Structure 1
Amino acid sequence: MLVAAWLLVMLTAASAVNVIIQNHWAGGFQGQVDIPVTSELHGWRVHLTFDQDVSSIEVWVADAQKVSDREYILSNKDFNADQHVGDTLSFTFLGHGTGDIAPHTEAFVEGMGTGGGTVTNEPVTVPPRTNAPSSGGGTSNKNYGDALGKSILFYDAQGSGRLPANNPIPWRGDSALGDCVVGGWYDAGDHVKFGFPMASSTTLLLWGLIRFKDGYVRANQLDMMYDMIKWPLDYFLNAWNPQTRQLVVQVGDGNADHAFWGRPEDMTMERPCFRLEPGKPGSDAAAETAASLAAGSIAFKDKGDTAYAAQLLTAAEVCTRSPRTNRGIYSQSIPNAANFYGSSGDKDEMCVGAMWLYKATRNNQYLEDAKANHENAWGWALAWDDKKVACQLLLFEETNDAAYRTEVEGFFQGWLPGGSITYTPCGLAWRDKWGANRYAGNAAFAALVAAEDGIQTARYRSWGVEQINYILGDNHHDGGCFSFQIGFGTKYPRNPHHRAASCPDRPAPCSHEQLDAPGPSPQLLVGAIVGGPDAQDNYVDDRKDYVLNEVATDYNSGFHSALAAIVHLQVTDNFPQTNNRCACNQ
């Protein structure tokens, strides 16, 4: 039996396909496997063999088993077990190793001859994973991958709880260890943990990771992104108690917190815990939390962390049962939240939550739930309290129903030039004075997703990239080339409305005096997006002006995922033509 098995492997290996290595970098590489199917398969096992040591691999359409540093066996998922003669078994994978390696790689399917393949290890263009037509031909002088990495650092700076040993923010330490739920993100420049916008931000960030993972690979930020996004997901797992059906949706009193100016490490005030429970409904916040958990399960299943993915999905499915039977607005149950993040309704969150659960499980009941909560209306914006266009986009992706496409186009009819949105002289789509950059960044991400879905691809790609270009410097503030992302380029805000960044290094004291202190903040809040300009492109870098200089986890979320989308366009040679009115050419 052992001899026969050995002979079978040797015979199939004799007709192995040479795998194309598309990209490589320090510590990893990306490969593309394309194996012609020459016999009917009802379940398959693919052997990958390398001529250099590969410490681990990540693959999203198969389960990976490590045989040695030179060989891995990939087994089919349930959804792709059947392969037919004439098909091509295709997938990409990431390999991790030491140094900048691009190993010669071969693949073969057990028991099936492959008929050879192209012998090359030269990088090639990765084809788009969409039905969107090509819209390439543009060029850019911006390092979007650098901006993406910096945005991850901003989220790291917002971490609450016991920070990990690899914490990259030297001026941040452990804080709020006595909270009812430890961990998570501080919301903005303050120290409240508002669960609803935290979940909304997490879902939007995960959407970008799932859809544009190759952007993170090209930017060499994939591991950092997984590390960053796990922080709020761990928090949500601890915030939800399935036995008591209680969900913590806020830690800290917003009013008491805003009276304190100092480091989170130095807080001494009471930090009350606000929960949803039977009799205190919050289907909007609960559904959004379920959405982030379900999206997280998809992302970490793709990563290969199946145990964590299963934990997230189980929590998401249990958490979503409560809002289906216990409808109500969370900020009516939690009056303290209403002063800061009052919700206007729950149907959009119910739809988005159901859609991510459908994507994670393929259970049609979730798709029907989403349709039942869908609203045939144009969203005011894509934001923590308005996810109509997200619901419509997700439904269109899964159903290809033209009615949902029309609704998405209606949203952008209002947002693109000629619609109802005000445009600044340099071209920012200016929705509101509170977080103008936030709304533009979120809409840009939605446009780039819609473009990938084949909706007005060329137009939406150009517009989405132009909005991000404005934020990163295509404006005339301070003589031009001013980035509203801190740390990007050479000119950017130095005085965000952020308590911890305004404090000198410990053990020096920090108090309200730092709010009024002249000069740049002692700590550079790398990666944060400040609120942005007024409708005339005017902006003042003033810590006390919290309208223009507030930062928040939701301010960065759509901008962040739009960056991943833009790097994806560069990877696939689909970067569009752009025409920013105040283009920075430095």
Structure 2
Amino acid sequence: MFLLMLLGILGSGWAADITVTNSWNGGFQGYFKLNPSQALHGWKVHLVFDKPVDNIEIWRAEVESHTPTEWVVHNMNFDADINPGADFQVDFVARAGGDSPAHGTYFIEGDGDSGSGSGSGTGGGSATQPPSSGGGSPITGGPAATGGSTMKYNYGDALGLSILFFDAQRSGRLPSNNPIPWRGDSAVNDGDSGHDLSGGWYDAGDHVKFNLPMSFSSWVLNYGFLKFTDAYTSAGQKDMMCDMVKWPLEYFKKCWIPDQQTLYVQVGDGYADHGFWGRPENMNMGRPAYKVNTGCHGADVAGNTVAAMASGYLIFKDICGDAAFADSLLAAAKSLYTFAKNNRGKYTDCVTQARDFYGSSGDADELSAAAIWLHKATGDNAYLQDAKSFYPAGTAWGFNWNDANVGAACLLYEVTKEGKYKNDIDAFIRQYMPGGSVPMTPCGLSFRDKWGPNRHAANAAFIAAVAAADGLSPDEYKKYALSQINYILGDNKLHISYEIGFGNHFPKKPHHRGSSCPTNTNSCDPGSGADNPNVLKGGLVGGPDQGDNYDDRRDDYVKNEVACDYNAGFQGALAGLYHFSVNNELPPAPAAKC
């Protein structure tokens, strides 16, 4: 850790040191702290560096303006008020030339300007002086929108936190720009008979790599990135998203071996894994690899993997600027699709080890999604005809790792504009809305199932946002999406955010091994009543019961576990709402019911 000081160059009466926690060639990671002796009601901070900084991606603050060496950031709408002694930390990642970090200090605008306070550098990276006149006004979190609405919650900030959750789920050898300080290399020897299977994401609060939900999460995230690219750009998250979505795609390429007609679909024994409570860095149990091939069919997981790689091709061709990687994804997706078509069947019919965790109900929905993504990637109408043929018509129960129907319907409608897909999309969304067949909690959450109700509601909100962007009942569907995401972020009985790290009140004891264990010891007590020592920023916990009740307990894996597929649609919905705000198309938010 470096403590960086620039003394005497600031115009205000005091300056504090920026703390840098990690650096690499071309960038560094750091934070500053606000620890006021008086309450802050809105704040604006200047970061001053000794060399040009090209870009800053920041959490819990928003960039207002910058020169090459001075960046001005201000509070989000939810963190304008900071109480004395709060020790409020703002993390950021900066890109700068050279192999050493920029040295820097920071000060709160207004402090010392009136001559009423002298202040000094704290030496510990904590600014203790409040602004003399408010330090800037609280922001609304977004531009004024049609209908006079602004964002009630800052969806861009929530979006950035969600990206960090997926970074915290990384398996394998971590890159030098790893933004999660409490995570290190893990499971670097994952493989089978010398074939490298390292990488990918851990599934949830455990350390198994289940490829069916992982590949679903991947293509859903890709869909939101492609659909609402401007949201990521406006939120300053495009580069972070490019890094994040590449991680599972590189792993999927390792899993598919075309010349052996073999696709690896799981790494780790779910039963043995669930018997271990500790950090992934400390795992020492065997991690077997499971595969499908011409003798053990698995078109469901193969189809989702094709969808992930074909959508990834579009991302790295059109957004992230890596044509070679894009081409490799498309080639793998094409050959894997042929394998899937020729080897129909559910992977859990032969990979029985996965059945108790992610048992599949069929493969047609995944094959339809795979085919329509390949059509979007190539323009080949043969894939479009396949997508139509595989599509299971009707109203989907949900949108999740085992049911891609309505996602395929959205993609098919975008291409064809055919009424049958529109009808299935409308029927799906309306069953989740008030008056539909899906129950609602008293405070307004669509309660599809006790396992991950936040996930089901957020995924429905994502489909509603996609449909609204495609012109289907836009005002009505946007308001429904707003109602669900706002509930998750605070419009609920407890007035907490179910996304960890968003705002000041959020779950502190998620059912997640890595975040629950200290980094400086091999011991870890899952029964401890203390808060998790590592904040799992961005993780979406399962959620409340049907009466809006929720307890923050680590041992409650129904209400308090996190998972990649919990966050995927949630993040897409955040991107959709932020997109509507950026384009002045966000309607007034529905009133909170609690």
- Give me the TM-score of the superposition, normalised by structure 2: 0.74
Q: Secondary structure at the match of 1:510?
A: coil
CA distance in 2, matches of 1:468, 1:461: 11
Q: How far apart are residue 97 of structure 1 and its match?
A: 10
Of residues 194, 218, 224, the one that matches 2:240 is 224
In structure 1, the partner of 2:212 is 196
Q: Does 1:279 align with 2:295?
A: yes
Post-superposition Cα deviations, 1:272-296, rounded to whole Å, max 9, x if no partner, equal 0000111100000001000000000
Q: How far apart are residue 466 of structure 1 and its match?
A: 1.3
Contact 1:470 1:580 in 2 (8 A): no
In structure 1, the partner of 2:538 is 527
CA distance in 2, matches of 1:140, 1:309: 35
Q: How far apart are residue 138 of structure 1 and its match?
A: 2.0
Q: Does 1:569 align with 2:580?
A: yes
Contact 2:152 2:589 in 1 (8 A): no
Could you list the structure 1 runs, at least 4 aligned residues long, displaced by more than 4 angstroms after superposition: 53-56, 96-99
Q: Does 1:558 align with 2:593?
A: no
Q: Does 1:503 align with 2:517?
A: yes
Contact 1:486 1:528 in 2 (8 A): yes
1:318-333 correspondence runs (5 A): 318-333=335-350
CA distance in 2, matches of 1:374, 1:233: 25
CA distance in 2, matches of 1:259, 1:211: 40
Contact 1:190 1:257 in 2 (8 A): yes
Contact 1:135 1:458 in 2 (8 A): no
Contact 1:469 1:580 in 2 (8 A): no
1:130-529 correspondence runs (5 A): 136-180=147-191, 181-302=197-318, 303-477=320-494, 480=495, 482-506=496-520, 508-511=521-524, 514-529=525-540
Q: How far apart are residue 139 of structure 1 and its match?
A: 2.2
Q: Supply the AA of the counterpart residue of 1:343.
A: S
Q: How far apart are residue 137 of structure 1 and its match?
A: 3.4
Which structure 2 residue ranges, 5 or more long, are not aligned? 1-26, 28-51, 56-94, 103-144, 192-196
CA pair 221-280 structure 1, distance change in 2 beyond 3 A: same
Q: Supply the AA of the counterpart residue of 1:483.
A: S
Q: Supply the AA of the counterpart residue of 2:529.
A: P
Post-superposition Cα deviations, 1:258-311, rounded to whole Å, max 9, x if no partner, equal 000001111111100000111100000001000000000000101221111101
Q: How many residues align?
A: 455
Structure richer in helix, relative to its length: 1
CA distance in 2, matches of 1:566, 1:315: 33
CA distance in 1, matches of 2:455, 2:591: 19
Q: Supply the AA of the counterpart residue of 1:499.
A: R
Q: Secondary structure at the match of 1:547?
A: coil
CA distance in 2, matches of 1:510, 1:253: 22
Contact 1:541 1:549 in 2 (8 A): yes
Post-superposition Cα deviations, 1:24-78, rounded to whole Å, max 9, x if no partner, equal xxx9xxxxxxxxxxxxxxxxxxxxxxxxx9999xxxxxxxxxxxxxxxxxxxxxx
CA distance in 1, matches of 2:430, 2:154: 29
Q: How far apart are residue 136 of structure 1 and its match?
A: 4.7
Aligned residues with identical type, % of pairs: 50
Post-superposition Cα deviations, 1:477-523, rounded to whole Å, max 9, x if no partner, equal 1xx2x0000000010000000011110122x1224xx2100121111
In structure 2, the partner of 1:106 is none
Contact 2:510 2:552 in 1 (8 A): yes
Q: Supply the AA of the counterpart residue of 1:230.
A: K
Q: Secondary structure at the match of 2:526?
A: helix
In structure 2, the partner of 1:20 is none
Q: Secondary structure at the match of 1:403?
A: helix
CA pair 395-274 structure 1, distance change in 2 beyond 3 A: same
Q: How far apart are residue 405 of structure 1 and its match?
A: 0.7
Q: Secondary structure at the match of 1:516?
A: coil
Q: Secondary structure at the match of 1:529?
A: coil
Q: Supply the AA of the counterpart residue of 1:327.
A: R
Contact 1:463 1:578 in 2 (8 A): no
Q: Secondary structure at the match of 1:243?
A: helix
Q: Supply the AA of the counterpart residue of 2:328.
A: Q
